Amino acid sequence: MAGVLSNLYYNAKDVKDLVSAYKREGQKGFQLAIERKSKQFENVQIRIAVMGEGGSGKSTLINALLDLDENEEGAAPTGSTETTTEIKPYPHPTLPNVQYYDFPGLNTPRFPVKKFMKETNFSQYDLGIIVTNSRFTENDKLLAEALKKAGKPFYLVRSKMDDTKRAESHKKGYNQEDMFRRVREYCVSSLRAAGIEKPTVFLYSAFDLEDFDFPQLKKAVVSNLMETQKNLFTAALPNTSEAAIEGKREALRPFIQMLSAISGGIGAVSIPGLSLACDLVLIISGILFIQKNLGLDEASLRRLAQRMGTSVADLRRGTEHIWVFGEITREQILLLLQRSNVALALTIAEPFLDFVPILGSVFGATSSFAVTLMMLNNSLDTMVETAKIVLKNAKAAASSEGIGN
Ligand SMILES: Nc1nc2c(ncn2[C@@H]2O[C@H](COP(=O)(O)OP(=O)(O)OP(=O)(O)O)[C@@H](O)[C@H]2O)c(=O)[nH]1
Ligand SMILES: [Mg+2]
């Protein structure tokens, strides 16, 4: 709970902006403001710079990371002669916000090192990958120093390990593990000598992606995305599996926290007949947002039904909480509030809030915070369970229609 306001998904300024949008424009303006806010995340670009000397295997590595064959559309051209002549972005096929920037070789006549270093804005990239294929060169060192200076995380990828393995394996007393260890240590100590305290090195061969460190490299790239970016991608992915839906549950939690913080900032309104204060508009806006992200709104369901050759009613079959598909009205929320154990939620939340001075001082109305948090969390859980049933129904419809077989 203490991390509420420092969450990367939003910050205190976002909360203030949204509070004033609400005060200025009411429900409609507020709804648009939170949609805009989520769009901002959709527009977050993640730029990964793949750099290194000419022919080190940069373009080939990008294709491997994109899971593209070099002849497929969208793949980076590769070759044994100077191939990449200008910086070009390659978007991830399913996550177009992630872009790998393919750089020309560093020591080629067209890109002399000095010009390259002067003209490259290292700070515009979120992550750097330096590709080296045998010796760690003076140019690799310059790249590492430049990325460090720009405060960017980066990895060193030692490519063409298949070549190295082949060449070394003829030697007397060859031991594969020893050879890998030596190559790794060489890369690590070269980076340390360049002033990089905690180097990250991956060994790789484009022709053997299951071997060496390629699986770990892929994982590292994803884990390097900021929490926010990960949440965004997770929330925007299609509901293709139960795991994907579960991922959305976690991705949407920070959003709920943000709305709850806003509800504290707006100041609660007492609700007649209930001994609590909260803001219904805000709760409705939040539920609508969750509904859309989980594909439970009317338009998404209709699209899904059409794709699967079934009806919306069929997709909803077996779901218990019909309200999650609807327009979400004040009356429904009041009904839900009456049914839920608000008193319990408040007694659990209030002691926590006492330990969060910023919430206490910035936002007086802690009970509004707690009620909103509880209502949105409960709605999220119900909607996640419903989305799983819809997925099951969609899959059943698809298999009886022969879709995807
Ligand atoms: N054996 C082996 N060859 C590789 C590997 N990766 C790339 N190559 C080959 O190395 C050559 C150069 O690869 P590219 O990916 O075009 O290299 P690049 O760094 O993008 O080259 P420039 O754009 O010209 O700077 C190609 O012939 C690739 O097939 C690898 O892991 N093993
Ligand atoms: Mg290239």
- For the chain, which residues make up each domain, given as ranges? 4-42+237-401, 46-225
Ligand 1 neighbours (beta carbon < 6 A): 54-60, 78-80, 82-84, 104-105, 159-160, 162-163, 205-207
Residue 42 has pLDDT above 60, yes or no: no
Distance CA 337, CA 143 (A): 58
The pLDDT of residue 352: 45
- Specify the pLDDT at position 47: 87
- Decide if pLDDT at 358 tops 50: no
306-314: long-range contacts, CB 8 A cutoff, minimum separation 24:
307/403, 308/394, 308/397, 308/398, 308/401, 308/403, 309/397, 309/398, 309/401, 309/403, 310/393, 310/394, 310/397, 310/401, 314/393, 314/397
Ligand 1 atom with minimal separation from the 56 CA: 19
Residue range 191-219, pLDDT digits in tens: 999 999 999 999 999 999 888 999 888 87
Q: Cα–chain-centroid distance for residue 273? A: 42
> Residue 142 Cα, ligand 1 centroid: separation in angstroms?
21
CA of 58 to the centre of ligand 1 (A): 7
- Closest atom of ligand 1 relative to the 77 alpha carbon: 16
Is the CATH code 3.40.50.300 the one for domain 46-225?
A: yes
Average confidence score pLDDT of the chain: 80
- List pLDDT tens digits, range 97-125: 678 999 999 888 878 888 888 889 998 99
Which protein residue has the closest C-alpha to ligand 1 atom 7?
A: 57
Q: What is the pLDDT of residue 186?
A: 97
| pLDDT top residue among 401 and 32 | 32
**pLDDT class for 239, splitting at 50, 70, 90?**
low
Query: CB within 8 A of 204, min separation 6: which ones?
Result: 61, 64, 157, 158, 159, 161, 212, 213, 214, 217
Provide the pLDDT for residue 188. 98
Residue nearest (by alpha carbon) to ligand 1 atom 23: 84
Q: Which helix (H) or strand (E) holds 291?
A: helix 280-293
CA 98 – ligand 1 centroid, Å: 22
Ligand nearest, relative to CA of residue 62: 1
- Quickly state the pLDDT bin for 175 (edges 50, 70, 90): very high
Closest C-alpha among 213, 221, 207 to residue 187 = 213
Please tell me what DSSP assigns to residue 77. Answer: P
Q: How far is the CA of 81 from the centre of ligand 2 (A)?
A: 9
pLDDT digits (tens, 9 = 90+) for 70-80: 888 888 999 88
Q: What percent of the chain has pLDDT over 70?
A: 77
Average pLDDT of 320-334? 87
In whole angstroms, give the CA distance from residue 285 to residue 29: 11
Rounded Cα gap, residues 15 and 395, in angstroms = 39
- Nearest-CA residue for ligand 1 atom 9 is 57
Confidence label for 289 from pLDDT (cuts 50, 70 and 90): confident
Radius of gyration of the chain (CA): 26
pLDDT at 8 > cutoff 60: no
Highest mean pLDDT, choosing among 177-186, 211-220, 364-373: 177-186
Gap between the Cα atoms of 347 and 401, Å rounded? 51
Residue nearest to atom 30 of ligand 1 (CA): 160
